[in-house]
């Protein structure tokens, strides 16, 4: 526990509520959170997996939560109702359905959603062929305080699974370019936009698709790089590398690999409100019961304008 929050014991889980003038934003790929099987995804989320996901969310206690691999609207509302019974009330929500009819991007929020701009019909060209962004993008404006509103742009890019339609990395890069165009459109409208871009980008930081989203120059986004709170504080070697703390977010069982593919990125204006000391990956026992991803969270203050 630390000065940012007070510890509260709830249902055997210790979590910390945000204090006045602060808020938390998290992203969590909940791995096929389906309430009924689909043609291509036949496993319904088990009660044990759902309970572990709720436990993780309670522990993080986010004010805004982006979700990837969410099932239909009924599945989202079931999770929302169950979280409310656990003391986590998210009155505001958004669910985006695009080309993929099985899993979707969604947002739960304790803070008012004051505008919605779902992106469900975006296309890109690849080798002369037209492709649709599979999961679309959720874009919402959220009011964190009377004089503090920010934009949340949530994404779940093409997976690394091979498909007969196109090279998976090229397809993911095409989706990333569409996402970056939405980011640039926001900056064109307001160069001082408070913007958080987050979600499952399905690739590492140095990949072409992730670099495309981060951008360059004046409107380059800041990678918050959440890591475990396990005491690691040694710098990276050589010094231009990232620190050697534990920052993986995804376990791929087939290859027995751990990688960081879930991100929270910030615009220059949003970076000024960022609490780096309250930004981390949740490391909890039996985390894999809930999902093959671990949730990440970032803290912010509304005091920096």
Q: Is 226 helix (H, G, I), strand (E, B) or coil?
A: coil
C-alpha–C-alpha distance, residues 111 and 133, integer Å: 28
Residue with tokens 């396990």: 230
Average confidence (pLDDT) over 205-234: 96
The per-residue pLDDT for range 13-60, each reduced to its tens digit, is: 334 445 569 999 999 999 999 988 887 787 899 999 999 999 999 999
Q: Compute the Cα dihedral for 45, 51, 52, 57 and give only its sign.
A: positive
Q: What is the pLDDT of residue 38?
A: 80
Residue 173 CB-density burial (10 A; 0-12 exposed, 13-18 middle, 19+ buried) = buried
Lowest mean pLDDT of 126-130, 158-162, 186-190, 233-237, name the range.
233-237
Q: Tell me the pTM.
A: 0.92
Residue with tokens 């510890």: 7
What DSSP string describes 100-135? -SS-EEEEEESS-EEEE--B---EEEETTEEEE-SS
Q: Any idea what DSSP says for residue 293?
A: B
pLDDT above 80 for 74: yes
pLDDT above 50 for 3: no
**Domain residue ranges in the chain:** 22-301
Interhelix angle 47-60/73-85, rounded to 10 degrees, is 60
Return mean pLDDT, the chain.
92
60, 52, 56, 2: which is closest to 26 by C-alpha? Answer: 60
Domain 22-301: which CATH number of 3.40.50.620, 3.60.10.10, 3.40.50.2000, 1.10.10.10:
3.60.10.10
Q: What is the pLDDT of residue 15?
A: 40
Cβ atoms of 283 and 294 within 8 Å: the answer is: yes
C-alpha–C-alpha distance, residues 157 and 199, integer Å: 8
Q: What tokens were used for 130? A: 């037209």
C-alpha–C-alpha distance, residues 88 and 19, integer Å: 15
């Amino acid at each position: 526990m630390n000065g940012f929050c007070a510890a509260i014991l709830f249902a055997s889980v210790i979590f910390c509520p945000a204090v006045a003038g602060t808020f938390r934003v998290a992203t969590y790929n909940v791995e096929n959170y389906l309430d009924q099987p689909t043609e291509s995804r036949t496993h319904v989320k088990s009660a044990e997996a759902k309970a572990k996901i709720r436990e993780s969310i309670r522990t993080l206690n986010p004010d805004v939560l982006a979700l990837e691999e969410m099932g239909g609207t009924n599945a989202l509302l079931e999770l929302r109702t169950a979280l409310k019974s656990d003391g986590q009330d998210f009155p505001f929500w958004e669910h985006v359905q695009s080309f993929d009819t099985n899993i979707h991007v969604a947002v739960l929020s304790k803070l008012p959603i004051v505008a919605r701009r779902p992106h469900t019909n975006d296309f890109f060209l690849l080798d002369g062929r037209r492709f649709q962004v599979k999961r679309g993008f959720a874009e919402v404006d959220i009011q964190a305080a009377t004089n503090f509103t920010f934009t949340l742009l949530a994404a779940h890019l093409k997976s690394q699974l091979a498909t007969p339609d196109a090279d998976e990395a090229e397809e993911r890069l095409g989706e990333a370019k569409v996402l970056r165009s939405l980011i640039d459109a926001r900056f064109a409208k307001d160069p001082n936009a408070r913007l958080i871009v987050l979600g499952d980008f399905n690739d590492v930081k140095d990949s072409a698709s992730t670099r495309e989203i981060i951008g360059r120059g004046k409107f380059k986004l800041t990678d918050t790089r959440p890591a475990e709170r396990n005491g690691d504080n040694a710098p990276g070697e050589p010094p231009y590398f990232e620190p050697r703390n534990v920052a993986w977010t995804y376990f791929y069982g087939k290859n027995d690999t751990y990688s960081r593919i879930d991100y929270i990125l910030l615009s220059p204006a949003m970076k000024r409100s960022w609490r780096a000391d309250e930004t981390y990956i949740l490391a909890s026992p039996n985390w894999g019961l809930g999902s093959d991803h671990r949730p990440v969270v970032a803290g912010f203050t509304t005091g920096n304008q």
